[in-house]
Chains A and B, each alone.
Chain A
Amino acid sequence: MIALSRFLLRSYTRKHAYFAPLAATLIAMFLLYTYKPNPVMDSYAVTSVFLFVGSAWLALTFLNHGSPQQEQLHITHIGGMKRYLFSQIMALLVPVAMCTAIFMLYPIAAQMFDRPVRIGEFLLAVGGHLVMGGLGASLALFFQSAWMPNGSRAVALLLALVIASIGAKSIAGLLPEQLRWLRWIFPPVSPIMDVLLNGGAEPSHKVWLTLGYGLVYALLLGLVYMLVSLRRDART
């Protein structure tokens, strides 16, 4: 599966489809750090949201970069749909991890913060970025062309869902009391953003539980994707 993940990443990078989402995400980060000094956790909370949006976009271009015939060959080479899907998801996590590394290390290396980053803050921010990136990528799984052949509609719907996820707390606040539960349907982007912002003030178990909730949400999306994909034909 590692060999196929590596192949998929090579094939993706050679098509240069990664350029627009990666450039947009990095530009957003550089704009954030135009001035210094910056508060540590507030900055990391914002870049984790950038990573959520960027990962969704990157994942969509990654999932759409191969042709149906290429997918058919991969499935026969690796010996089944399940292994292919695992390889695909593994490959998808590589750019998320790389972006996390950039978002974490750039401000430290460029001395953009108003004070040194504590180890606890660093670990919390790494966890937050990885979970946010995973959430973005797992959302995109359902909007790839294999699931939604109309590309424009897929992008519009994914974008709407991304926006709703970021603003879920505010949107829920506008809803009548009996519909407030709807905020739990959306990916837990705003709760994670909150705990990253207020990480120091919250009890640590609550902080990690919130990240765990995001991780479980992303894993569930991945699981649903796998289960449904295994019941579908390979693209033709």
Chain B
Amino acid sequence: MADKREAEGRDDGLVILRDTVKTYNGRNVLHNISLKVRQGECIALIGKNGSGKSTLLRLLAGLSRPASGTRTVPGGSLRIGYVPERFPPIVFTPWEFLSSTAAVRGLDKHAAEEELNVLLRQLDMEHAMHVKMNQFSKGMLQKINLIQAIAGKPDLLLLDEPLSGLDVKAQENLLHVLLAQKRSGTAIVMSVHESKLIERAADRVLLIQEGRIVKESREERWQPGAVAEVSARIPGPEALAEIAAHPGVADCTPDSDVYLLQVEEGSIDQVLRIILDRGGSVLSVIPAEGIDARMGERLQAAAR
């Protein structure tokens, strides 16, 4: 999709790195990185610890300066949401912190409070919004870390290990939030290890090794024949066998008390009907928005 826009002459790069080199203590940690981040696209950075992913995110955020090469923002200014790998130890309640950061961003007070309430509810943090954060678990802090970045609908979201510390439900909720942000035009660049996030959100995957982008994969979204993920409760082995045998079901894997089905777009209606007719229930249907699942797995394996 991004290439199509470029071909049409609408080159909507939000931030562009050209031949950037980053040096720490005389050692190059990023080598000649060139990258254009476009509106509404999601880029996943994968690679070993210490490969340069976090440094690249900081460079994109403008938090560090390249030793050589350039970082340009064609639009002049950019609203950035940044999730550092670790959330700082701040002696505030989430509400105090988040409303203060909204004020710092210059957001309208009432609109910001409404949005924060929605995000806190989506990430299941409403109950803790007035509790001091020094009593929080790692997962709870990570949720606040994510909300502070997402609030205000930034142009560019930079996420360093966004799923770190989150339980399965929170990961799923976050994925929905991120996909909604992406649909509204926010560009996302994230350093990730989890293939689930890559498969379902990423348009491009960059494999980084020793400060270099060694491989780039991109997939067109919404391709005919793409698969959606259906989460369903299926009663009994007979129903399961019938559904798994359907030609439109590419994969069927148990996930605690539910089954995750990879269903081809053209067969979703039929498969859902079978599940319901056999007394099952459908928990969610997530359209295939990201790159091909097998591609994600291959790249993840290469990063290890």
Contact = CB atoms under 8 A, between A and B. Distances in A.
- Does B bind A? yes
Interface of A: 3-4, 6-7, 10-11, 14-15, 66-70, 72-81, 231-234, 236
Interface stretch (B62-70, B166-174, B229-237): B62-70
Interface of B: 58, 61-65, 77, 79-82, 84, 86-92, 96, 100-101, 103-106, 148
Given A77-B101, A78-B104, A233 B92 contact: no
A69 B142 CA distance: 13
B90 A76 contact: no
19 contacts: A3-B106, A10-B92, A10-B96, A66-B88, A68-B88, A69-B88, A73-B82, A73-B84, A73-B88, A73-B148, A76-B61, A76-B62, A77-B104, A78-B104, A78-B105, A79-B77, A81-B62, A233-B65, A234-B63
Contacts of A6: 100
- A7, A11, A77, A234 interface centre (most CB from chain B within 10 Å): A77
A8 to B, nearest CB: 10
Contacts, number: 70
A7 B84 contact: no
A76 B91 contact: no
A68 to B, nearest CB: 8
B259 to A, nearest CB: 39
Contacts of B64: 233-234, 236
A69 B63 contact: no
Given A7-B104, A72-B82, A77-B105, 5 more contacts: A10-B96, A66-B88, A69-B84, A76-B62, A80-B62
Contacts of A66: 88
- A67, A76, A233, A234 interface centre (most CB from chain B within 10 Å): A76
Contacts of B103: 3, 7
A7 B96 CA distance: 10
A76 B88 contact: no
B104 A236 contact: no
- B62, B86, B104 interface centre (most CB from chain A within 10 Å): B104
A72 B92 CA distance: 17
A196 to B, nearest CB: 38
Contacts of A3: 100, 103-104, 106
A76 B80 contact: yes
Nearest to B55: A236
Contacts of A80: 62
A70 B88 contact: yes
A68 B217 CA distance: 33
Contacts of B63: 72, 75-76, 233-234
Given A4-B104, A15-B91, A69-B88, A76 B65 contact: no
A197 to B, nearest CB: 43
Contacts of B91: 11, 14-15
Contacts of B80: 76, 79
Contacts of A78: 104-105
Nearest to B152: A77
